[in-house]
Amino acid sequence: MPGHSYAGWAREAVVYAPAWPSDAAALVTTLLPCTSIELDPGLTHAFTPATTDARLGYTAADLVSSQPHVTLHLAPRYRGLEALFACALGLEAKRLGATLVPQQLAPGVYRHLFEVDQQLSTMTGWVAPDDGIDPSDVLDGQRKVRRGTLAVVRELSVWEFLSTMLDELTLAWTVDGGTCTVSGPAYSVRRDSGVNTLTTMQHAALPSGPSVLLTQAVLRLAPYSVDTPLGNSHETGIRTWTCTLKNQLKGEPGPRTGLAAEEYERSGPPLLTGTFELPRYRADTLTEAWAATTLYMLDCKFTGPFIADSAFRYQLNLYVPGLTLTHAAPTGPSVARATVPVQWTAVTPLAPPAGFPTMAHQGPFALEVISDIADHQLL
């Protein structure tokens, strides 16, 4: 049985018109591999100053907004995080060219590709054919729902966060371990839900799947090219890796929602930044590219153990079609061996780089998972 505090996530029901929040919480059936959880009920008060009598200071307080916020620190796994990836990035196309997604590679083996979508709200529906969708795949007006119910057991009760949207996703590793962090706002939080109860949470399936380790990663980095794909000559070892997607969601209370926020929308373009550290200082190539604002491309591929009863391995692959280095200088000088810490910011090129997987959208980031999860994460 899990410890006293644990959590699970379930994407909420599909809708066929703009809708906020969800009509009902989704039932959590599988727990997340949480290492720590930060919960903020998001209550804001305004205090009334004493102005009409002899008292000094403030005389009363009013609740003026309620915008809960959650942060989940998760152990990175090769399976079980697909729903979070779909909600954080926004799109899993139904088709990539003529290939159905998830693509079945073998019995019990499926390939998912998650891409950054223009919007994460329900204000726009599936767009054919831009979203890799055919009109026959969805019902009239069907929306991409990228929000979910987060249920957290907190010893005495279940804290149920309704219509949680994911504003940030961070994937980070060192040689000692890794973490997948997701955070974002919710519409409301309650502690007396009839959907996710202590009993239902105790019966939810435990997280499973092998861990994603930095020792299983191969980073390939080269100047952006539409002719020359990344290859073995572009491989480099790394001591650390981070990448953070910021969706820049914003919402304010409105007359329809009272103290809660209306559905969260982007306040700016999605921002992807990252870092990695080369273990040795052997060339000035990246330092010179930093000064020259050379456009690069990269992928970082993690390969795990074999998927049961197949010749395929678990994979987590990160694709950045275009990036500009914002820092690349060796450490030191000192008695210690110099390394090269690198910082970068993604930019979206006009055309996809050579050798990158086919995508429905031309965006700054794509995340590929090969696992035994057969379900499409948005349909």
List the chain domain ranges.
Answer: 5-46+59-371
* Mean pLDDT confidence for 275-302: 95
Query: What is the radius of gyration, based on Cα positions, of the chain?
Result: 23
In sequence order, the β-bridge partners of residue 343 are 275, 327
CB atoms within 10 A of CB 334: 7
* Mean pLDDT confidence for 260-273: 95
Cα 295-246-94 angle, rounded to 5 deg: 85
Q: Write the CA distances from 113 to 102, 161, 181, integer angstroms.
A: 8, 27, 19
Which pTM value belongs to this model? 0.94
| Per-residue buried b or exposed e for 273-294, using 16+ beta carbons within 10 Å of the residue's own CB | bbbbbbeebeeeebbebbeeee
What's the pLDDT at 61? 83
User: For residues 103 and 82, what is the distance between their CA atoms, to the nearest angstrom?
Assistant: 14
pLDDT digits (tens, 9 = 90+) for 41-100: 988 888 888 777 767 778 788 887 789 999 999 999 999 999 999 999 999 999 998 999
pLDDT digits (tens, 9 = 90+) for 201-250: 999 999 999 999 999 999 999 999 999 999 999 999 899 999 999 999 99
In sequence order, the β-bridge partners of residue 46 are 62
What's the pLDDT at 379? 93
What count of Cα atoms within 13 Å lies in the side-chain half-sphere of residue 104? 5
Q: Which residues contact 54 (CB under 8 A, 6 or more apart)?
A: none
What's the pLDDT at 1? 42
Q: Write the CA distances from 79 to 62, 92, 202, integer angstroms.
A: 45, 16, 21
What count of Cα atoms within 13 Å lies in the side-chain half-sphere of residue 154? 15
Q: Which residues contact 135 (CB under 8 A, 6 or more apart)?
A: 128
Cα end-to-end distance, the chain, whole Å: 31
Q: Are 230 and 215 in contact (CB under 8 A)?
A: no
